[in-house]
């Protein structure tokens, strides 16, 4: 085959050492382990405690893990897409800094922000660059230090989020493997339901905005949950129908790890058995841009060449979608 498809050829990941368990959260806010577990599926999350380290630190570690495992020369990387909702700073791209720090000095880099759908959108972007024939090695990193924007007095959000990073390498494939199809959508109706109100051009930083905690993430949980359940499930079902896939054809579902109930609803719509639904939410919580690659890293040893994998995500904005990908290698 002469047609170029874009396949994932390597995976890397990193999570911080510090574990914030539900039991610890019980001492911080009015909540308990049973309540958190039954409503979210989360038992613990990782937190980057170092005050002088940002999202770039997580991203660098994940990229270095991939580079070491795949035994590639960073100088061969053509471009880097940094999927994140928690850039190190508003101006000066985090991805550019990460590229330099890992030695990928021949690459150009930039940040991509679509909230919890950032990595999913990044997969589409990375694949398009590879399929164009212009670039051979595109490194996609999903990383977020969510603890930097969480208000740990707000029990509706502090129980959900954690810190982490994952990375994948996209390369050309001539066997028809890799990204097959995508269905990506967005709707600005979600702007008011999941956001950080201040710190942007609309509401610049002032002493008042800091005092009012307007630089922390806030969400209308019930509304976000309703939209997420409907749209993640719809997108996943549509991608199956469009590619004439049945539940038997799907080997794995890799869903965004926001809430176990959302994942269960998506899997139910696809009529998938539990063994095909990959989850690590109980250990990491919602790491936003890092959830999908962290799942890939944790379950990479189970994937076989040719496996049909469905990715699904939903994020603030609102942003959502599903991607159908054929896995390209057996882990050695």
Cα 136 from chain centroid (whole Å):
23
DSSP string, 168-190: EEEEEESSS-EEEEEEEEE-GGG
In three-state secondary structure terms, 25 is helix
52 with 88: CB under 8 angstroms? no
Between the alpha carbon of residue 234 and those of residues 14, 139, 274, the distances in Å are 31, 29, 19
In three-state secondary structure terms, 19 is strand
Among the listed residues 116, 158, 173, 231, the single catalytic one is 116
In three-state secondary structure terms, 65 is helix
248: number of Cβ within 10 Å:
11
Catalytic annotation on 215?
no
- β-pairing verdict for 18-21 and 44-47: antiparallel
DSSP H/E element including 166: strand 163-173
Cα 188 from Cα 192, distance rounded (Å)? 9
- Enumerate residues 6+ apart whose C-beta is below 8 A from 101: 56, 60
In the DSSP assignment, the letter for residue 74 is G
48 with 164: CB under 8 angstroms? no
Among the listed residues 173, 231, 256, 259, the single catalytic one is 256
DSSP H/E element including 295: helix 291-299
| 187 Ramachandran zone, left/alpha/beta (phi>0; psi -120 to 50) | beta
- β-pairing verdict for 44-47 and 5-14: unpaired
Catalytic annotation on 286?
yes
Residues annotated catalytic, as ranges: 116, 256, 286
């Amino acid at each position: 085959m002469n047609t170029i498809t874009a396949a994932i050829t390597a995976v890397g990941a990193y999570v911080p050492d510090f574990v914030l368990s539900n039991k610890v959260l019980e001492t911080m806010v009015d909540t308990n382990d049973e309540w958190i577990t039954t409503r979210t599926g989360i038992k613990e999350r990782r937190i980057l405690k170092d005050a002088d380290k940002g999202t770039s630190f997580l991203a660098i570690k994940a990229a270095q893990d991939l580079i070491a495992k795949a035994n590639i020369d960073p100088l061969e990387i053509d471009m880097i897409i940094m999927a994140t909702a928690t850039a190190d700073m508003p101006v000066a791209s985090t991805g550019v800094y990460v590229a330099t720090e890992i030695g990928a000095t021949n690459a150009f880099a930039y940040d991509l922000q679509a909230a919890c759908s950032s990595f999913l959108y990044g997969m589409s972007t990375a694949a398009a660059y590879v399929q164009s024939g212009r670039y051979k090695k595109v490194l996609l990193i999903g990383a977020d230090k969510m603890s930097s924007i969480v208000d740990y007095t707000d029990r509706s959000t502090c129980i959900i989020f954690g810190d982490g990073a994952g990375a994948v390498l996209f390369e050309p494939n001539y066997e028809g493997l890799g990204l097959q199809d995508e269905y990506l959508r967005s709707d600005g109706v979600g702007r008011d339901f999941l956001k950080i109100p201040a710190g942007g051009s609309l509401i610049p930083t002032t002493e008042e905005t800091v005092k009012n905690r307007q630089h922390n993430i806030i969400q209308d949980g019930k509304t976000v949950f309703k939209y997420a359940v409907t749209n993640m499930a719809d997108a996943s079902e549509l991608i199956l129908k469009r590619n004439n896939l049945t539940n038997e054809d799907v080997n794995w579902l890799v869903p965004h790890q926001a809430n176990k109930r959302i994942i269960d609803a998506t899997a139910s719509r696809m009529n998938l058995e539990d063994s095909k639904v990959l989850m690590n939410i109980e250990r990491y919580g919602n790491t936003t841009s890092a959830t999908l690659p962290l799942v890939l890293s944790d379950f990479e040893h189970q994937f076989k060449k040719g496996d049909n994998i469905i990715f699904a995500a939903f994020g603030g904005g609102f942003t959502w979608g599903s991607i159908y990908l054929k896995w390209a290698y057996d882990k050695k």
